[in-house]
Amino acid sequence: MNDITSLQPNSVWKYFHAINQIPRPSKKEGKMIAYLMETGKSLGLETLKDEAGNVLIRKPATPGKEQVTPIIFQAHMDMVCEKNSDVDFNFETDAIRTRIDGEWLKAEGTTLGADDGIGVAMALAILESKDIAHGPIECLFTVDEETGLTGAYALGKDFLKGKMLLNLDSEDEGQFFIGCAGGKNTEITIDFEEEDVPKNSKAFRVMVKGLQGGHSGDDINKKRGNAIKILTRILHEATFAYDAELAHIDGGNLHNAIAREASATLVMQSHLEEEFTNYIRTFGETVRHELKNSDAGVQVEIEPVALPAKVIDNYTQCDLVQALYACPHGVLAMDQDIEGFVETSTNLASVKTVGKQIKIVTSQRSSIESKKDDAANMVASAFELMGAEVEFGDGYPGWSPNGDSKVLKLMKQAYQNLFKKDPQVLVIHAGLECGLIGEKYPEMDMISYGPTLRGVHSPDEKLLIRTVQEVWDLTLEFIRLLD
């Protein structure tokens, strides 16, 4: 069975199916904006759009509930667009192809879009419902969360009326988040000159693939491999032991995803082919052993390719390889107060050859603002030593937890009523729009929750089907408890 519209709760899955027919890459959400605007108006509800493209739909209270605390449901409409290299798919035109695999919902070789399409679907189902008694409701759908939180950045300070916000963008049923890390990007540009290909040379493409990747916040502490860092070890050996010349490098894609794949085109003397091929084979075995418990699918491959027209100048190549090797990646510090919680991390997200430049994107996160800046400076220093141009993004604030939150108390009560156990109350190392919303609306009482997702920001993304019903029931119980 692959017809998700037959799943329960039917209204939620109906909307999720409809959403996955609509292309919605970050910064290209025009069709999704139009769909949300049309849906809100077709339901006869007040439907607004701000200059950034954020959509707000208001549903008045049901009779007798006008004095109940107004609440806001919030989800982002864009999705991470990642696919396996052998999959023919265009995220700007094609519908996501879903399939049911046992208790999970997956996509065919691409990200599923449940982050945060399932949150959008739940909010729309609430707006459509005719049998839920409730106070005033607002549903806020933000743009471009995945590549910079720009929708939340642009949110006006008078756009929202409610004072209690439920963010539907978390990934573990039974976990409530009441705080998150702040983050910023550090981007590097390296200019290079081109040199002629040495005589008597052969060219090879070296590839690192098969890694899990994942969310650079949620998964950064899971000891998964970073394809760029693994490839850099190969480049270091190729440069300094085999006098290889680098012609092209490409790895990773998104600032908030751990790099799953990376490749480089190398040129070296023909007589070194067999020795270098043996090195690659041995190195592949080494990496598989290193990652046997955390990323066992890693593959390191080599194949001959046509000689490129030019290679990167030797001076830049040596500096680039050294800087990539020195660039930190992963957990930098654990929280001193919360057991098992990542305080500060950095992600070497992507490296691309663009014309006669190398473009590198990294992302830093921390629940301590000064440590976030320290991590960014650490990354910048590795590249400034070679004279690279470094640019820092504006970043986004963290969200400080409030243990006395009313929304938290009601959600805990709702969870206990339904499941006869206590939920986990946590802070998250990933960034959430709650940080920016809280900055603009300091009195906003917020919580983040959602159904169980795994493999987000990668083609392995999957949604645990039964948890959608559980989160839906929890939401209805919360609404019932509001006064």
380 by DSSP, 3-state: which? helix
Residue 145 annotated among the catalytic residues of the structure: yes
- Residues 271-284 have a mean pLDDT of 97
3-state secondary structure of 150: helix
Let me know: does 196 contact 285? Beta carbons within 8 Å.
Answer: no
Is 90 exceeded by the pLDDT of residue 28?
A: yes
Cα 30 to the center of its chain, rounded Å: 20
Task: Give the model confidence (pLDDT) of 317-366 as tens digits.
Answer: 999 999 999 999 999 999 888 788 899 999 999 999 999 999 999 999 99
pLDDT of residue 327: 98
Place of tokens 């945060």: 116
The model's pTM: 0.76
The whole-angstrom separation of Cα 449 and Cα 73 is 11
Amino acid, single-letter form, for residue 345: S
> Is residue 284 a contact partner of residue 240, using CB atoms and an 8 Å limit?
no
DSSP H helical ranges for 53-211: 114-128, 150-154
Q: Among the options 78, 250, 445, 461, which is catalytic?
A: 78
Q: Phi and psi of 49, rounded to 5°? A: -135, 130
Is cis: bond before 9, omega within 30 of 0? Answer: yes
* pLDDT at 1 (0 to 100): 43
Catalytic residue among 145, 171, 218, 261: 145
Query: Which residues share a beta bridge with 49?
Result: 55
Computed over every residue of the chain, the mean pLDDT equals 95
Helix 30-42 × helix 10-19 angle, to 10°: 140
Average pLDDT over residues 238-265: 95
In 18-117, at which residue ranges do the beta strands (DSSP E only) sit?
46-49, 55-59, 71-76, 98-101, 104-107
Q: In which band, very low, low, confident or very high, does the pLDDT at 3 lie, cut at 50, 70 and 90? A: confident
CA-closest candidate to residue 198, choices 310, 120, 95: 310
Q: 430 versus 266: which is more confidently predicted?
A: 266
**All domains of the chain, ordered by start, with CATH?**
4-181+398-481 (3.40.630.10), 184-392 (3.30.70.360)
Per-residue pLDDT reduced to its tens digit, 55-86: 999 999 999 999 999 999 999 999 999 898 88
Q: Is 335 one of the catalytic residues? A: no
Residue 377, class by beta-carbon neighbours within 10 Å (0-12 exposed, 13-18 middle, 19+ buried)? middle
Residue 434 pLDDT > 60 = yes
Query: CA nearest 61: which of 131, 135, 2, 127?
Result: 135
